[in-house]
Structure 1
Amino acid sequence: MNLALNGEKIGRNQFTGAKIENSTFFNCDFSGTDLTGTEFIGCQFYDRESQQGGNFSRAILKDAAFKSCDLSMADFRNASALGIEIRECRAQGADFRGASFMNMITTRSWFCSAYITKTNLSYANFSKVVLEKCELWENRWNGAQILGATFSGSDLSGGEFSSFDWRAANFTHCDLTNSELGDLDVRGTDLQGVKLDNYQVIQIMDRLGITIIG
């Protein structure tokens, strides 16, 4: 499927389960739509003229996939996004507040599932989002808003974290190896169970004025 839509309200089941390649959706409204299992490859949702991104608020994005897409400034607020894939995309300034990546089994037991990899998430908003034990590797997180978010147990390896407030979210048990950690201060961040590589540890100790020999 190859489309060029502008300013359209997308029907609830219009693209459910479809595979859509190299299409443009400028100023389109996907709010409340069912995109379960839908695959977008090489699609553009950001309109440079209006500086507006796609509106996916309250959409059902279960097992939906975005690959090599421009999702800059996209609105994912309150979307149901269990099992979503966002790979090799631009998603600067995207808003994920209230999005759920979680499957509730009971009120006390649940699991998360999301695959957000090799994507530019600079200035994206993940405030209070729960992304535990998810694949989140090789992303750019520069300036991302993460106040109250939980990333515990996730793979954040190979990431870029400048202008990033490590104290604002839960990163316990995360894999941070091979990442540029920016201003990570071990004195103000709970790093229980976190994986770091030798080079990162030397950098962190150096910042504390501690020299490692050998």
Structure 2
Amino acid sequence: MIKNQVFSEQRFNQKQFSGEEIHDCKFLRCCFDSIDLSETTFVNCIFYDDEMQKGCSFQNAQLKDASFKHCDLTMADFKNIQALGLEIRECKATGADFNGANFMNMITTRSWFCSAFMTKNNFSYANFSKVILEKCELWENRWTGANVRGTNFSGSDLSGGEFTEFDWNDVNITHCDLTNSDLGELNLRKVDLDGVKIDDWQQSHLLEKLGVIVIHSK
């Protein structure tokens, strides 16, 4: 186990942390690009230099079954990571960039499954553009202002989420669980809601936006 260390402007070796448990460490402007972090666990770690306003880079890293819990991943660069089974829980990931991240296990060219466990995080203004996250655990996240253009969340649990300043128009949420979520400006006329689960109070709110007055029977 690695604990209570500070790393500054370091570029790490291929398997330096692979499979390790890392607790209460600071990584300031560090580079994890292309290294193997499979099954590595980070707990209460900081990956953001608040003074320089710069995050760490994980571009092209192997993050299969890796875990981040209670970490500060603000502005982290996760572009093109291999992320099947990645766990991110109760983290601050404001402005993190997941463009090109791969959460899929390809079975054939036409069949695959995804695996990700990302819950109770702040993903405000993060970039998930064109990422495929089908049938994943994505509950109780804050998605304020996140870039989800072309993102596929089909079948995922998005319950308890906060979707203010969220563009619903070019994201696949079919068969998702949206119960107990703040749905922001979701427009029933423009979004495919096939198979989506919502609560009674959400239904009333969405219909009222269409001018329909919902009367609750006693």
Range into which the TM-score falls when normalised by the shorter chain: over 0.9
Runs of 4+ in 1 over 6 A off after TM superposition: none
2:131 is the alignment partner of 1:166: no
Number of the residue aligned with 1:13 = 15
Alignment deviations for residues 123-147 of structure 1 (CA, whole Å, 9 cap, x no partner) = 0000000000000000000000000
Counterparts of 1:96-115 in structure 2, within 5 Å, are: 96-115=98-117
Number of the residue aligned with 1:36 = 38
Structure 1's unaligned 5+ residue stretches are none
2:97 is the alignment partner of 1:95: yes
**Could you tell me the TM-score, scaled by structure 1's length?**
0.99
2:162 aligned partner, one-letter code:
E
User: For residues 179 and 56 of structure 2, what CA distance do their matches in structure 1 show?
Assistant: 33
Number of the residue aligned with 1:61 = 63
User: For residues 171 and 128 of structure 2, what CA distance do their matches in structure 1 show?
Assistant: 10
Counterparts of 1:60-139 in structure 2, within 5 Å, are: 60-139=62-141
User: For residues 109 and 122 of structure 2, what CA distance do their matches in structure 1 show?
Assistant: 34
Secondary structure of 2:55 counterpart? coil
**Could you tell me the TM-score, scaled by structure 2's length?**
0.97
User: For residues 118 and 200 of structure 2, what CA distance do their matches in structure 1 show?
Assistant: 26
Secondary structure of 1:201 counterpart? helix
1:87 aligned partner, one-letter code:
R
2:168 aligned partner, one-letter code:
W
Alignment deviations for residues 14-61 of structure 1 (CA, whole Å, 9 cap, x no partner) = 000000000000000000010000000000000011111110110000
Number of the residue aligned with 1:23 = 25
Secondary structure of 1:119 counterpart? coil
2:210 aligned partner, one-letter code:
L
User: For residues 176 and 53 of structure 1, what CA distance do their matches in structure 2 show?
Assistant: 31
RMSD (Å) for aligned C-alpha atoms: 0.5
Secondary structure of 1:172 counterpart? coil
User: For residues 10 and 49 of structure 1, what CA distance do their matches in structure 2 show?
Assistant: 22
